Amino acid sequence: MFRNFKYIKNRIYKYVEVYKIFRIFLIISIFSIVNNCRFTSCSHESSEDFQSKFKAQGLIANQSILKIQSQIDSSKVANLRFITVNAISQYHPNSRKYVVFIHGSPGGWSDYLNILNNPEINQDFNLISVDRPGYGGSDRGIAILSLKEQADRIAALIASFRDRKKVILVGHSFGGPVAARLAMDHPNLVDGLVFVAASISPDLEKKEWFNSLAEYKIIQFLLPIDLITSNKEIIELKNELTSMLPLWNKIKVPVAFLHGGEDSLVPIDNVRFGKSMLDHNNDNLIVETDPNWNHFLPWNQHGRIIELIYKLDQKIPD
């Protein structure tokens, strides 16, 4: 009798857990559908809707696509969508430095909208925000698991715009290791790095139960395409970060860290890892942390990111 009761209780617990998991994915899917623009970087919005994000601040922004030869399949051409503010291009030269923003996983160029439409920083810097490969207008849904390949594509963009000007990279979350890899492989294109809640330590990357669950086709049927892409690249991130370990000594430019103690997605110990890997570059480091900050700093601490860009700029020689 007792054994039967225990068996029934365990079965009930299992069904409850399955129900909870199903409910989580259902809520995420509904949220994504209702807020489709959030996950697709508004790739379907009209030109008027796009410009309205900047007009109120007296700014003009452009959307462009850079065609790049794919390193994974030489027979294909990859797309990289990027946003420039104030009609910045090689045809509008000025003396300002470039700041290139790289979003997390999932995400899109608009994750940095609170910075991109800030009139003050636009007076001092040329701002560019990209859709990382696999998101928005950059071949959405085609996951690029190689950080090197992602970095190379963004490097091609920087090379086309740089015109001998200084370049600062800002990487949030997954965008952090992409920025780091770009600085490692293309040191001539990067003059400063800002890591915002960046996931850069391989030891702190753990495969969660929901990552494994999201690999099943039946579960993917319930998920929006951007979460499927995100899950694929996050599962591979630990291996990618491990392969980067011997390359950290190549980073010799000024580096800034911004991280919060309440970050439940990317532990603040990533800052400790970054400092240890950049010990050779200690005089060029800036570290700002707060025990109350969470992971979503581009939205709730965008003013601090702007301040950090200015601080880092002071360390970059002319």
Distance of CA 81 to the CA centre of its chain: 14
- Cβ-contact 76, 70 below 8 angstroms: yes
The letter for the amino acid at 174 is F
Task: Specify the pLDDT at position 219.
Answer: 76
| Both structure tokens of 288 | 């700002």
**Alpha-carbon span 138 to 132, nearest angstrom:** 6
* pLDDT tens sequence across 143-177: 999 999 999 999 999 999 877 789 999 999 999 99
| Number of C-beta neighbours around residue 159 at 10 A | 13
If we measure between CA atoms, which residue out of 120, 149, 114 comes closest to residue 134? 149
Task: Specify the pLDDT at position 76.
Answer: 83
* pLDDT tens sequence across 260-270: 999 999 999 99
Residue 18 has pLDDT above 70, yes or no: no
* pLDDT tens sequence across 283-295: 999 999 999 999 9
State which H helix or E strand residue 78 sits in: strand 77-85
* pLDDT tens sequence across 56-91: 888 889 999 999 987 767 778 999 999 998 744 444
- Cβ-contact 128, 98 below 8 angstroms: yes
**pLDDT average, residue stretch 201-207:** 92
**pLDDT average, residue stretch 190-199:** 98
**35-315 topology per CATH:** Rossmann fold (3.40.50)
| Both structure tokens of 50 | 């796009």
Name which residue leads in pLDDT, 116 or 215: 116
- Cβ-contact 150, 132 below 8 angstroms: yes
Lowest mean pLDDT among 10-24, 112-126, 173-187: 10-24
Specify the pTM: 0.85
Task: Specify the pLDDT at position 290.
Answer: 98
- Cβ-contact 194, 312 below 8 angstroms: yes
Lowest mean pLDDT among 2-6, 32-36, 178-182, 276-280: 32-36
Alpha helices in the chain (DSSP H): 2-34, 36-40, 47-55, 113-116, 119-124, 147-161, 175-185, 209-213, 217-220, 225-244, 269-277, 297-300, 302-315
Residue 11 has pLDDT above 60, yes or no: no
Write down the mean pLDDT value for the chain: 85
Predicted confidence band of residue 231 (pLDDT cuts 50, 70, 90): very high
State the residue for tokens 């997605």: 265
Residue 28 has pLDDT above 80, yes or no: no
Task: Specify the pLDDT at position 24.
Answer: 54
Predicted confidence band of residue 30 (pLDDT cuts 50, 70, 90): very low
Predicted confidence band of residue 182 (pLDDT cuts 50, 70, 90): very high
Predicted confidence band of residue 40 (pLDDT cuts 50, 70, 90): very low
The alpha-carbon radius of gyration of the chain (Å, integer) is 21
Phi, psi of 253 (to 5 degrees): -90, 165
**Alpha-carbon span 312 to 7, nearest angstrom:** 61
Lowest mean pLDDT among 198-202, 218-222, 299-303: 218-222
Residue 294 in 3-state DSSP?
A: coil
- Cβ-contact 185, 151 below 8 angstroms: yes
**pLDDT average, residue stretch 9-25:** 55
If we measure between CA atoms, which residue out of 120, 30, 167 comes closest to residue 38? 30
Predicted confidence band of residue 218 (pLDDT cuts 50, 70, 90): confident
Q: Longest Cα pair distance anywhere in the chain, in angstroms?
A: 83
